[in-house]
Structure 1
Amino acid sequence: SYFTESGFTPEFGSVAPGAPGAATTGTRLIAQFHDLPPGVFLTAPASVRSQLPDGSPGQLEARRVIGFAGDLSGGELLDSGGPWELAPVENGRALLVYEVVPAAPYQGVNGALVNDTFRIPVNVVYPQPASIGGARVVLGLGPWDATAEMSATAPTPRFSPPDPAGSFFPVIVGPSLDYLTFRFTPSDETPLVERKKFDSAVVAGSLSVIEGGDWLSAAALAPPENDTVGFTVRPEGLADGRYHGAVALRLASDPNLLVIVPVILDVNPPPEIMLDTSPVQFRTGVGDPAPPAQERFLNGRNKWLDYTVTVETTSGGNWLRVTPTAGSTPVYLRIEADPSGLAPGRYEGSITVTAETAVNSPQVIPVLFEVTPPLPTFSATAVVNAASYRDGGVAPGEMVTIFGENLGPEEPAGIVIGADGKVSTVTGGTRVLFDGVPAPMIAASKRQTTCVVPFAVRGRERVMVQVEVDGWKSAPVSVPVLETKPGVFSADSSGQGQGAILNQDGTLNTPENPAPAGSVVTLFLTGAGETIPPGIDGLLNPAGDPPVPLASPLVRIGGVESQIEFVGGAPGLVAGVTQINVRVPGTPGDRVPVQVLFSWRSSNIVYVSVAP
């Protein structure tokens, strides 16, 4: 019997010292490769001579076994010094089996002990630009019988598979860049052909397709170009996806070595246009410069595309331009809108991108160009109570006046009662929006517009206000929302001076027509806030059972809290205008101050005339 030590190191696919145990001649060395990715090919030599510790040839030889049984016994030993051959890979696994035999001319020395080492190279061809850190190898040794040392004949081999739970060694394989890649997209011309030149001639009859099926073929060219192989790929009928193939051949420079050329075929879906087709919007004012150009990125999915671009406008002439109008992807399309000669209005156009080979051609981008008249403008401080002209916020149902520019028509427009009996939300082509909710309109003119804040703003901290004239909106302006913001109407609509107050007989209170002491006068105000029942936008207050403010009022006349006889919506006026009937104290005078409080928020001060 002859003893040897064998093992597997983490080095690239080689068997080296370190196996746990000794082996007799007839012992089989087993290497199992696990977790190999698709497209990996292994080749190994037919035989390997052992080495002595000093590096000189040993007395043993490991010869590769093919056709072995499931228990790794039996099979045929390849010839000593024979060529390299493939190791079949199935389901990510490959199995190499070598048997230890005496090397010629040695025939065996009974009882001699040798300390030989085997290094079995394994060529791993991996056609991907990455390493396989996940692959691993286990080493197995065929068991030996200690009684065989005293036996005149070799023991009957008993082999078992390696134990997958132990002796794992990772295989770190650098990528082989010596591979071919073909990419096919429907509409490409076929077949796909590529040539590869080697450093010597291809051995005649050695070339074969070892993986790839009918889609892959290869042949060496005729001499003197027989160092070049032509690869032909016919992808017709293949589903989308990646396909692995390989061609094996031998070269005259080293006929024993088996050269593997991996082939990758990527079959792509049909090409598509990749383009954002959401609308492109431009806006500029009359007489202003052209708006900044915009860009859209045009590309092809699965393949570069040749494209053409056309533009169309429905009105306004040739105001839309796109560059470039033809070429190949990828590219940025520059889109421009020219307002020269255009009157205020909305103009529509479209951009059509066509690529003959794309399955989703053509693609259309809508374009909207707004040429605006001078837009409404105002500030938050210009939103004031219509009675007191105080700013600082708005209350539900408060009548407010907005001051600014371009807030309505040149000719002032007044209140409009709709068919439903409510105050319309449009007058003179003007609307006022509170968080998008249209307000009942009282009046509109170029620099001043009056409306009633919708009751829906109640409970909000702030509200966005916009003025819209003939469909053109101002920039939104944020204003605070208050629970109440009382303002008492004055006789001259200035928010101060003589109040718009009626005497008990229904006549207007003036210094010439004072109210008798102890009589009841009527005040009109806005900004009392939400009502019971809840306020309805634009509704005219009924004469009977009008809505009552949710907050309780307090009225001071001449600094004295006065007795309130009635509070509620002013009959016949829009919801949001409140009437208070209050008894006049006995303080005479032409200018007796009047102030109203709701939720302790005070109104402006107006004056009432009281007779002596």
Structure 2
Amino acid sequence: MKFAADGKTLIYSTLLGGRGNEQGVRLAGAGDGSVFAVGNTTSLDYPTKNAYQPTIGGSFDGIFFRLTDNSVPQLPAFTINPNQLTFRFVQGESAPAAQAVTASAAGGLVASAVEPWLRVTPALSVSVVPAGLAPGVYRGTIRLTPPNGVPGTIVVTLNVLAAAPVLSAVEPSRVAIGADDTEITLRGAGFTNRTTVQLQTIPWLLSPVRFVDSTTLKLTLPKPYFSAEYNHSITVQNPDSAISQPVSLAVGRPAPAIAAKGILSAASYAGDVISPGEILTLFGENFEPGMRVNFDGLLATPLYITPNQLSVVAPPALAGYRGVNVTVETNFERRSTPVRIPVWPARPGLFTADSSGKGPAAALNQDGTINSPFNPATKGEIVVLYGTGGGVENLPNKVFIDGMECEVLYAGQVPGLIA
């Protein structure tokens, strides 16, 4: 028997055999619609045509034949466009929108849906009602029957998918170029021990996906995946479910990092605390031009920057803060781990002659020459000292030399300098 594409309309049927017994017949369909068969027979009158051996030659003879249909199939007298429709439904979401079909028949067509989940209007608007259907692939038929002649059919496929698992984050979210094999952690909800991972929509098969619990998956990406700057798109999927929203794993230059106890006064190199308006030096790694320093949302541009050191003025708006989180970042894409540091109203520090934070002060004598052991100031002479960390709240300033308080003639910003 041969049926039409709708699986219901019979095109032809036949019975082939003789008066004996036919056994072990196996059938195989060919691309041109013909059928090949193989088996054995005891029939003396087995029908043949153009046979290699036209009559039986033993008790059991093998049979091998090809059956072709030379009949002219009856086709509808009208055209249908399109004659195949596909719908996709994810459980928990709205039913898919209806799809329109056109037929060339002038009128009189009666449209009917064969399956209970299919709907069709007289205007040939086809819709599906997937509520209550389990995940899977469903196939149905819309029959268009004219007043006279052969009916036409529309084949409908409905893909019902379970709700996608939720993929919310990948840890780490950024890996340095040239990194070795790296274990990544996927965070979300709805994971199972059969959840699969896709990288750039391609199923991940290069390493095992380890199911930790319904919120956590782990897998290892080999070193070649970190050979160049790139953004890997990662998705997950449960059996018979939709695919999750993607998360991105960035491969790029390493994130900056602030060293432990690496936020210091640029003058004295004293640490552990900062003050508003103070010139600071930060030590760390992976610093580069274009980065900025973030003080809990107050941004500051470095005065200078090298791969392991930068200098910045603490925002004056920190006045009144008791502490602040400091990060070094670039356009919010790469940022260091925040470092929490206390904020004091003032934390004075003097610059030194060799910029080490120790030894002779960076000072000018009254005649404008550089103060040094070889060019000391004389008693009663005015000396200019340079420092930072005096605060922004007009706090009283006192200067002591060898424990003796000196008269302060001026305390404030140096004209033309940063702070």
TM-score (normalizing by structure 1): 0.37
Contact 1:432-1:441 within 8 A present in 2 as well: yes
1:376: which partner in 2?
256
The alpha carbon displacement at 1:442 in A equals: 1.9
1:284: which partner in 2?
175
Q: What is the rounded CA distance, in whole Å, between the counterparts of 1:376 and 1:308 in structure 2?
A: 33
Q: What is the rounded CA distance, in whole Å, between the counterparts of 1:332 and 1:516 in structure 2?
A: 72
User: What is the 5 A alignment of 1:72-471?
Assistant: 273-276=163-166, 278=168, 280=170, 282-285=173-176, 286-294=178-186, 312=200, 337-343=221-227, 345-351=229-235, 363-406=243-286, 408-409=287-288, 428-468=289-329
The alpha carbon displacement at 1:275 in A equals: 3.0
The alpha carbon displacement at 1:480 in A equals: 1.3
> Residue deviations 1:501-555, cap 9 Å, x none?
1122222222333333222221111001124xxxxxxxxxxxxxxxxxx211011
> Residue deviations 1:131-170, cap 9 Å, x none?
xxxxxxxxxxxxxxxxxxxxxxxxxxxxxxxxxxxxxxxx
The alpha carbon displacement at 1:478 in A equals: 1.4
1:523: which partner in 2?
385
Structure 1 portions without partners, runs of 5+: 1-184, 193-235, 241-269, 300-306, 410-427, 532-549, 578-612
Contact 1:297-1:333 within 8 A present in 2 as well: no
Q: Secondary structure at the match of 1:569?
A: coil
2:353: which partner in 1?
491
Q: Secondary structure at the match of 1:402?
A: strand
Q: What is the rounded CA distance, in whole Å, between the counterparts of 1:391 and 1:554 in structure 2?
A: 21
Q: What is the rounded CA distance, in whole Å, between the counterparts of 1:279 and 1:338 in structure 2?
A: 20
Structure 2 portions without partners, runs of 5+: 1-93, 97-113, 118-127, 133-159
Q: Secondary structure at the match of 2:226?
A: coil
TM-score (normalizing by structure 2): 0.51
Q: Secondary structure at the match of 2:363?
A: coil
> Residue deviations 1:328-356, cap 9 Å, x none?
xx999877654424235341425386999
Q: What is the rounded CA distance, in whole Å, between the counterparts of 2:95 and 2:378 in structure 1?
A: 99
Contact 1:385-1:399 within 8 A present in 2 as well: yes
Q: CA 1:375–1:324 in structure 2 vs 1: closer, same or farther (change >3 Å)?
A: closer
The alpha carbon displacement at 1:363 in A equals: 4.8
Are 1:559 and 2:403 an aligned pair?
yes
Q: Which amino acid aligns with 1:458?
A: A
Contact 2:292-2:302 within 8 A present in 1 as well: yes
Q: What is the rounded CA distance, in whole Å, between the counterparts of 2:302 and 2:310 in structure 1?
A: 8
Q: What is the rounded CA distance, in whole Å, between the counterparts of 1:444 and 1:475 in structure 2?
A: 18
- Identity of counterpart residues, as a percentage? 33
> Residue deviations 1:263-296, cap 9 Å, x none?
xxxxxxx976243254545443432332234365
Q: What is the rounded CA distance, in whole Å, between the counterparts of 1:508 and 1:273 in structure 2?
A: 75
The alpha carbon displacement at 1:371 in A equals: 2.9
Q: What is the rounded CA distance, in whole Å, between the counterparts of 1:309 and 1:494 in structure 2?
A: 53
Larger of the two Rg values belongs to structure: 1
The alpha carbon displacement at 1:467 in A equals: 2.5
Q: Secondary structure at the match of 1:456?
A: helix
2:415: which partner in 1?
571
1:514: which partner in 2?
376
Q: What is the rounded CA distance, in whole Å, between the counterparts of 1:376 and 1:334 in structure 2?
A: 25
Q: Secondary structure at the match of 2:384?
A: strand
User: What is the 5 A alignment of 1:579-598?
Assistant: none
Q: CA 1:276–1:459 in structure 2 vs 1: closer, same or farther (change >3 Å)?
A: same
Q: CA 1:525–1:351 in structure 2 vs 1: closer, same or farther (change >3 Å)?
A: same
Q: CA 1:376–1:518 in structure 2 vs 1: closer, same or farther (change >3 Å)?
A: same
> Residue deviations 1:74-97, cap 9 Å, x none?
xxxxxxxxxxxxxxxxxxxxxxxx
Contact 2:196-2:204 within 8 A present in 1 as well: no
The alpha carbon displacement at 1:322 in A equals: 10
Q: What is the rounded CA distance, in whole Å, between the counterparts of 2:170 and 2:414 in structure 1?
A: 50
How well do the aligned residues superpose, as a CA RMSD in angstroms? Answer: 4.4
Q: What is the rounded CA distance, in whole Å, between the counterparts of 1:559 and 1:432 in structure 2?
A: 37
Q: Which amino acid aligns with 1:276?
A: V
Q: Which amino acid aligns with 1:552?
A: P
Q: What is the rounded CA distance, in whole Å, between the counterparts of 1:395 and 1:493 in structure 2?
A: 20
Q: Which amino acid aligns with 2:406?
A: S
Q: What is the rounded CA distance, in whole Å, between the counterparts of 2:367 and 2:215 in structure 1?
A: 82
Q: What is the rounded CA distance, in whole Å, between the counterparts of 1:436 and 1:319 in structure 2?
A: 40
Q: CA 1:363–1:450 in structure 2 vs 1: closer, same or farther (change >3 Å)?
A: same
